[in-house]
Structure 1
């Protein structure tokens, strides 16, 4: 498939490299790199490539556009897309980039900020032999040259692989991210989900909790697809999460109107396309007592956010844990292979996730200003990791938070 450059797009050729044999009868070489500033013009190409490319849900068209049109715009980010072809015109890689100014430095990141748990390019798995470290550096340098403004590429929370296939940008090197990811293979029958996740005593307690909730009203677990109901679930999430952050003396990132707009846009069904964000809810009667939001692509489901009611008649029944078990069982029934709870340490993640996924932060400067930014930002993220990995420092931080008004 060949992609035509959008209006105002820049085109250039990568210098010829040694052929990489994929089969005895065929070879592929990298060809054109194109910069697309009119992103809407390549929506169809992006969506189609996403159905066969390796990549996380956070780089798929619907998710990126939900972010770019809300939080990205509020953060003064400019979205561009780079595509890389082979010499036969077949798409090899698609890389969405958010350009933002940090003082006098232009930083290129993958879109999503803290809302995106994982960052990596979309790429054709058959072209992986072409995408070694030298080739990826050359591609990024060509992108920087074409835009004429990028000082540094900053890719945080990069997985080493995705669904068993290496991430080509992992070959760029870097340092461990402050926090790892948490995941679990869904290699068990759906009706055995509770048995796999929880011991016998815990399952007994969960059944008792469900009976207790059923005494309040009809207990119902479901994926939410009706627009009116979705709006109610998001309102419940914002109320429940806001209260939780207040209780823990943590800044509420969802207090930002742009963050609310992102959730609303992401959970909408647009042009008969599946929404970028899936919503799940646990209700008792007409009360929403727990919520869960996530995104999926290929064979993996990624959890993004959750909340639960803290009212006295509900909290002791662990509504968040009950809903989480249902969500995981639902992904098993869909035939997905992996479930994750994103990045960042939390006790509940260790209950259902049995694999830790180490991540990498990579900085590729293309100017002196970019070098300075990479050193400063990388240093801060390294310090954050040290605090998280040092018990006394982490405990001190928690005590300071508790004393905040």
Structure 2
């Protein structure tokens, strides 16, 4: 494959700084509810700002999810304005972990969830290196009880969705919280030393043959460009994605999880969040742009996030009216994957949701869990119901026809409150 050259800066993964515990006296205790038991202090903050300095330190950990980074959370929190319940756990005045949660009321029950969780592909929380070295068994029952005590009065139930209990060789400190397997899996393509070795994981010969076929079709029509949107192009390309995806959802009879204005506003805010080194981009818009016969038209779009050596495809769309015989969506993935391999990325993540094109690219499949900690009396009942709902979704998804029927029924009834992973994410 020969992808279009893009100027990039090589990422030195080995040299990335790792988070360490910081003194806990930088936060304003006026905005926090605190519980201290057995040397561990648990504080609940209703705003992000008092924790910014230590939060940004903890997020430098390469295995901490981009979805818990300060800027990502701020974009969602400042748009949706849900009440916040940000948990900081400290030992001897040193921050051990931060769990950035928001309170969402559903059917009369207050849920404490990761900020923006309905559009997150993976959640890990934030932990100091010091805590990770000493927390082999994860949060102990007494520490979980302390978190529950600190949250009392603010929420009925803590639900941490899409948490891998083991992520890239590290066991999650959250794995000790009672869990139920999430109905969706995530799919990844690990990058090996050479691009050829990487492709061999997914049938290199077939991939190269198909790439040549696709490029020949498009070159016969005038050619194409792989574009990475410049600052003055990002918003327009994201709006085009919303249009393309709405058509796809309607054709499939599925609820449009991107249609509400706050979600679109939050995603637009993410476009500007990136660092100068290229190792962090909250949302980067890629597209295939045609030349010649279809000059300027966009048949495929993808939005990627990058944190350190991990790239996630957050969402993608295609225009089925344009060159479908060339499979433009798959061609765009080929170009993006080759580009990021040159940049030293270690893992290309297709995100959650089981679709055929993901399985064709991904030799690695990650099981995620929903962690459920009841807080109030009604929360204990809700926790039981939550586990049942998740298990029911898992059972339904094992029967594609039944799942498709229920999705179409939800769409006809105007159900737009589904999470992104519950709808088509191609």
Where does residue 135 of structure 1 map in the other structure?
A: 139
Structure 1 residue matching 2:100: 3-state secondary structure: strand
Cα 1:272–1:336 change in 2 (3 A) is: closer
| Partner residue of 2:365 out of 356, 360, 364 | 356
Q: How much does 1:395 deviate?
A: 1.8
Would you say the 8 A contact 1:5–1:11 is kept in 2? no
Please list, as runs of the form range in 1=range in 2, the aligned pairs for 1:297-312 lying within 5 A after superposition. 297-311=307-321
d(CA) in 1 for partners of 2:140, 2:227? 43
d(CA) in 2 for partners of 1:136, 1:218? 59
Q: How much does 1:39 deviate?
A: 0.9
Structure 2 residue matching 1:358: 3-state secondary structure: strand
Pair 1:289 & 2:299 matched? yes
Cα 1:145–1:272 change in 2 (3 A) is: farther
Where does residue 108 of structure 1 map in the other structure?
A: 112
Matched positions, count: 381
Where does residue 24 of structure 1 map in the other structure?
A: none
Q: How much does 1:265 deviate?
A: 0.8
Q: How much does 1:217 deviate?
A: 3.6
Pair 1:314 & 2:314 matched? no
Structure 2 residue matching 1:214: 3-state secondary structure: helix
Where does residue 5 of structure 1 map in the other structure?
A: 27
d(CA) in 1 for partners of 2:276, 2:346? 25
Would you say the 8 A contact 1:365–1:374 is kept in 2? yes
Q: How much does 1:354 deviate?
A: 0.5
Cα 1:146–1:236 change in 2 (3 A) is: same
d(CA) in 2 for partners of 1:102, 1:84? 27
d(CA) in 1 for partners of 2:104, 2:142? 22
Structure 2 residue matching 1:177: 3-state secondary structure: strand
| Partner residue of 2:190 out of 148, 162, 185 | 185
Q: How much does 1:333 deviate?
A: 2.0
Unaligned runs of 5+ in 2: 1-21, 413-426
Superposed CA deviations along residues 289-344 of structure 1, whole A, max 9, x for unmatched, are 21111222232212210011211x41111111011122222222221222211111
Structure 1 residue matching 2:160: 3-state secondary structure: strand
Please list, as runs of the form range in 1=range in 2, the aligned pairs for 1:90-109 lying within 5 A after superposition. 90-109=94-113
Cα 1:131–1:146 change in 2 (3 A) is: same
| Partner residue of 2:283 out of 258, 277, 281 | 277
Give the structure-2-normalised TM-score: 0.82
Structure 2 residue matching 1:321: 3-state secondary structure: helix
Give the structure-1-normalised TM-score: 0.86
Return 317-326 or 138-147, whichever deviates more.
138-147
Superposed CA deviations along residues 125-167 of structure 1, whole A, max 9, x for unmatched, are 4422543667354444334433432221112221012221111
d(CA) in 2 for partners of 1:137, 1:303? 36
Unaligned runs of 5+ in 1: 17-30
Cα 1:53–1:193 change in 2 (3 A) is: closer
Where does residue 42 of structure 2 map in the other structure?
A: 33
Q: How much does 1:269 deviate?
A: 3.6
> RMSD across aligned C-alpha pairs, in angstroms?
2.5
Would you say the 8 A contact 2:270–2:282 is kept in 1? yes
| Partner residue of 2:37 out of 6, 10, 14 | 14
Where does residue 222 of structure 1 map in the other structure?
A: 227
Structure 2 residue matching 1:380: 3-state secondary structure: helix
Where does residue 243 of structure 1 map in the other structure?
A: 247
Cα 1:53–1:138 change in 2 (3 A) is: farther
Would you say the 8 A contact 1:181–1:358 is kept in 2? yes
